[in-house]
Amino acid sequence: MAAYIFRRLLLMIPTLWAVITLNFFIIQIAPGGPVEQQIAVMQGIDNSMLDRVSGNNQSDLQGTATTESKYLGARGLDPAIIKEIEQRFGFDKPLMERYWMMLKSYVTFDFGDSFFKGESVMGLVMNRLPVSVSLGLWSTLIIYMISIPLGIYKARNHGSQFDTSTTTLLITLSAIPGFLLAVLLIVLFAGGNYFDWFPLRGLVSDNWDSLSWFGKITDYLWHMFLPTIALTIGGFLGLTLLTKNSFLDEIGKQYVMTARAKGNTERKVMYGHVFRNAMLIIIAGFPAAFIGILFGSSLLIEVIFSLEGLGLLTYEAIVQRDYPVIFATLYVFTFIGLVMSLIGDLMYTVVDPRIDFEGR
């Protein structure tokens, strides 16, 4: 197993390289980069930088600077200003030089500084990561803890009134958009128009450091309660039906009939024989479910509840064309996804020890 894990870790290197390389060159040809955005800002309002760079006042520049530029919208700006903007964002260097510099830095997880936030990208990512991980982890665990037992019970009572009514309820819940439920929860329980039971923003309270360890746990769960409900409400249907159908498929097989014929109780047949085989496909989907919630579904929830997570950070970076932040979050997303995929494969052997990846 150690050799298999080592090979998988080695395969992460070319995967990360391919993802970063592909997106680096795609973004380079996309219009509206950070230089263009800064030019647009300066054309509109920023006079102080014009004076600092050129030594002229704004009227002189607007009246005399008419040089051609490769950037759309740069007409009327002094060439020295354009050059300084390019140097600030690193665009004064050739494309391939910037690419190799980025690869060398990323080997040591040095992502540089944000173009527009003026902070270390690694610091931004590490500050935002706990929020997204908390949302993703708690939501995924709650969905699995409810959906798997419910799916097993539905499989054992297939076609019953309970099976039909719970399926209808799950379909109804899945039709509720998470962001609309989030707004409703705020209106009802977070100081909207009715009750003020839960906080509206942040992962913890301002006085979190002064609380006892029990108070810190309570405060953290208090802040996570509403966002987690909004994220999980529509996630039960797919996993519940997957669990039910997986168990139904296994229940109809010959080895189950043999186990029953030997006098085993239904509980032993279900959890001693069927469970191990039926859970394989469910466990295989855990990494994808976690990553989907962590970096996809949580974006709007982070915005609505003012939770500064990676999803919100990535969205802001894309809007601002903050390339260091974009590439860093992409790098972290890919790395976490690869690690979760490896963990999912290893869980196969936990559920069914007969599976041997080493022998493949």
CATH number of the domain that residue 288 is part of: 1.10.3720.10
- Considering the domain boundaries, does residue 60 fall inside one? no
58, 8 Cβ separation under 8 angstroms:
no
Largest CA distance in the chain: 96
* Structure-token match 């197993």, residue found: 1
Q: pLDDT averaged over consecutive 10-residue blocks of the chain (360 residues)?
A: 81 87 78 62 48 41 45 54 60 78 83 79 85 84 90 88 92 87 86 77 79 86 88 87 87 83 81 78 72 69 81 79 82 82 76 65
pLDDT of residue 34: 63
Instruction: Say if residues 203 and 220 touch (Cβ distance below 8 Å).
Output: yes
What's the number of CA atoms in the CB half-sphere (13 Å) around residue 340?
21
Q: Is residue 131 within 8 Å of 307, Cβ to Cβ?
A: yes
Task: Please check whether residue 162 lies inside any domain of the structure.
Answer: yes
**Domain contains 357:** no
Angular region, 346: left φ>0, alpha ψ -120 to 50, beta rest: alpha
On whether residue 38 sits in a domain, the answer given is no
Interatomic CA distance for residues 224 and 201, integer angstroms: 10
What token pair was written down for 247?
């168990």
Q: What is the pLDDT of residue 84?
A: 62
Residue 89 confidence (pLDDT):
58
In a domain, 75, yes or no: no
pLDDT at residue 356 in the model? 67
pLDDT given for residue 335 in this prediction: 85
Residue-level pLDDT at 170: 92
- Structural domain span for residue 249: 123-351
Task: Determine contact, residues 182/300, Cβ cutoff 8 Å.
Answer: yes
What is the predicted pLDDT for the residue at 171? 92
Query: Per the domain annotation, does 132 fall within a domain?
Result: yes
Q: What is the dihedral of CA 87, 89, 93, 95, to 10 degrees?
A: -160
Other CB atoms closer than 10 Å to residue 25's CB: what's the count? 11
For residue 33, is it within any domain? no
| Residue 93 domain flag | no
Q: How many domains does the chain have?
A: 1
pLDDT of residue 100: 87
